Amino acid sequence: MSVRPYRDIYRRKSRQIMVGNVPVGGDAPITVQTMTNTLTSDAQATIRQIKAVEEAGADIVRVSCPDVESTAALKTIIDNVSIPVVADIHFHYKRGIEAALAGAACLRINPGNIGSAEKVREVVKAAKDNGCSMRIGVNAGSLEKHLLEKYGEPCPEAMVESGLEHARILEDNDFFDFKISVKASDVFLAAAAYHGLAEACDYPLHLGITEAGGIRTGTIKSAMGIGSLLWAGIGDTIRVSLSADPVEEVKVGFDILKTLGLRHRGVNVISCPSCARQQFNVIKTVEVLEERLAHITTPMSVSVIGCVVNGPGEARETDIGFTGGGKGTHQVYVSGLPDHRLKDDNIVDHLVGLVEKKAAEIQAEIDAEKAKPNAADAAE
């Protein structure tokens, strides 16, 4: 395959922290997060939701801990899920200590908002003693009063200053295992703040467009904001904020990473919008196909094109290709090459079978490559 430098993304160099057993920053893969919307005090409901986002591929999950009932349920939740749990403790320092003791992998906390220096020291000690990292979370809608008075309104400079002020508090307590976010619902404001923060520090950055909206509008806002930052090399972990099921947040997050070639999970379906040239019902075929292929986690690509104008060209670049042909007979491609022809009957069933077979082959190759000893191992 030819070299395509226009696709290169050069990630900002950041230090690396651990969120449980998941590395964030440095050269680690960009992680996808979400947040539960169940009552954390209802441990079983929260566990069910976390297992659902685990299945969707989430690397990290955040739960809200506004009260003692929530932190009391935290250990049960953590003991019954596989991915690291971040405790969002709001403003109460005792919730942070309780969450750290319960096994939270990370605390979402703004140290300047929890009271005295002594309270900050107690939370930091609990985090250190229990291997717990932190996230400083700046939000344009809740900037500190002195910054609003200084700048007159939420602006990138105020958000960056807020993040750095909180960071200094942790640094003064000899704590450096944290990441920072500077979120806003305004895409331009958020992007400018992240660019400013990326230049001002080397801490890993958690990206998000907060309160982005429902599935359609929220996905578009998040793709524009998060996507533009990732394209610029900024960002180490992402959360898509949607007024929707958290599983949808995870799916959109992976789609953003997949589109930029930063991380691949599951089947990337390339399909045409359909037109009068289509030789089969493209829209319905793709709708059903995406649903039927949702269980595949192996990274691969499938093209579904309604006619021969663009079909063969797209098929050359995908693992499985399907192009509409005349008289109800269509062309199937495997690994970019014409393989066989197919009648209208059972298009979806046939393609699902082909994709599952190809996915198994690709996964076997991936597993075999992983099993090879690296140079360091071989030297030993």
Give yes or no for a contact between 284 and 271, defined as CB atoms under 8 angstroms apart.
no
Burial 17-29 (b: 16+ CB within 10 A, else e): bbbbebbbbeebe
Instruction: Round the CA-based radius of gyration of the chain to a whole number and report it.
Output: 23
Tokens 């299945």 — which residue?
Answer: 55
Strand order in the sheet with 31-35: 178-183, 133-139, 106-108, 85-88, 60-64, 31-35, 237-239, 206-207
Tokens 């996905």 — which residue?
Answer: 219
Give yes or no for a contact between 184 and 207, defined as CB atoms under 8 angstroms apart.
no
Helix (H, G, I), strand (E, B) or coil at 332: strand
Residues in the chain: 380
The set of residues, in sequence order, having a beta carbon less than 8 Å from that of 234 and lying 6+ positions away, is 12, 194, 195, 198, 205, 207
- 132 among annotated binding-site residues: no
- 287 among annotated binding-site residues: no
User: Which two three-digit tokens encode residue 268?
Assistant: 């990337």
Give yes or no for a contact between 102 and 71, defined as CB atoms under 8 angstroms apart.
yes
- 275 among annotated binding-site residues: yes
At 49, which helix (H) or strand (E)? helix 43-56
User: Which two three-digit tokens encode residue 14?
Assistant: 């950041």
Burial 223-255 (b: 16+ CB within 10 A, else e): bbbbbbbbebebbbbbbbbbebbbbbbbbbbbb
User: Which two three-digit tokens encode residue 104?
Assistant: 């939270």
Helix (H, G, I), strand (E, B) or coil at 89: coil
Whose CA is closest to 234, among 177, 193, 281, 289? 193
> In sequence order, what DSSP letters do the residues of 229-278 get, joined into one string?
HHHTT--SEEE---SS-HHHHHHHHHHHHHHTTS---SEEEEE----TT-
- 307 among annotated binding-site residues: yes
Report the DSSP pairing between strands 237-239 and 60-64.
unpaired
Annotated binding site: 272, 275, 307, 314
Annotated binding site for [4Fe-4S] cluster: 272, 275, 307, 314
